[in-house]
Amino acid sequence: MAGRPAALNKRLIQELHKTRQEDNPALTYLAPPDDSDLHHWRAGLRGTPDSPYEGGVWDIDIIIPDNYPLAPPTIKFITKICHPNINIKTGEICLDLLKSEWSAAYTISSTMTAIQTLLTSPEPNSPLNVDAAALLNDGDTMGYESLVRYYVWRYARKETDL
């Protein structure tokens, strides 16, 4: 934590405390994996209920920049996931909130809720996974949902195992 802005560290500590006090239904956990670095967090993101993602939990990597909250964190999926707006190889997420629509009013927890919402609100016209987007653009919802369920079964941790 040395060399990092004190005000930022204070905000991050406040966010951690608030996260521990208030249950976020989108998350199974949200915390730094190592207490010595407040700028690197991990999260367990739950699949959206009543969707093909239901029952899955994905590990997420979060890097918080020194100019947070003025700049967004860098967030990516560690666990493989099938979604038009998530790169299947790198875990990169295409979400305006993480780029041009970022606001200092967002917290890490609220950002994770927005990412969970993205799971059931794909934007196939700006894909990072062209195969998943093509299924949706072709109107093959059944094929898309089957592919998503396969990835949930194959790669995601199961909520029932937590």
Q: What is the pLDDT along the chain (162 residues), one digit of tens a residue?
A: 445 678 888 999 999 999 889 989 999 999 999 878 899 999 999 999 999 999 999 999 999 999 999 999 999 999 999 999 999 999 999 999 999 999 999 999 999 999 999 999 999 998 999 999 999 999 999 999 999 999 999 999 998 887
Please pick, among 94, 108, 119, 136, the residue that the annotation labels catalytic: 94
Between CA 107 and CA 122, with CA 149 as vertex, the angle to 5 degrees is 45
Note the pLDDT of residue 3: 56
Note the pLDDT of residue 4: 65
Note the pLDDT of residue 8: 82
Q: What tokens does 51 get? A: 């969707």
Note the pLDDT of residue 1: 46
Give the containing element (helix H, strand E) for 117. helix 108-119
Told to judge if 94 belongs to the known catalytic residues of this protein, a careful annotator would answer yes
Strand positions, DSSP E, the chain: 27-31, 40-46, 56-63, 74-77, 157-158
Strand partners, 41: 62
Note the pLDDT of residue 27: 96
Note the pLDDT of residue 80: 98
**Residues 6 or more apart in contact with residue 6 via CB below 8 angstroms:** none
What is 6-161's CATH number, 3.40.50.720, 3.90.1150.10, 3.20.20.110, 3.10.110.10?
Answer: 3.10.110.10
Q: 44-51 — which CB contacts under 8 Å span 24+ positions?
A: 44/157, 44/162, 45/77, 45/112, 45/115, 45/116, 46/116, 46/159, 47/119, 47/152, 47/156, 47/159, 48/116, 48/117, 48/119, 48/120, 51/119, 51/120
Note the pLDDT of residue 9: 87
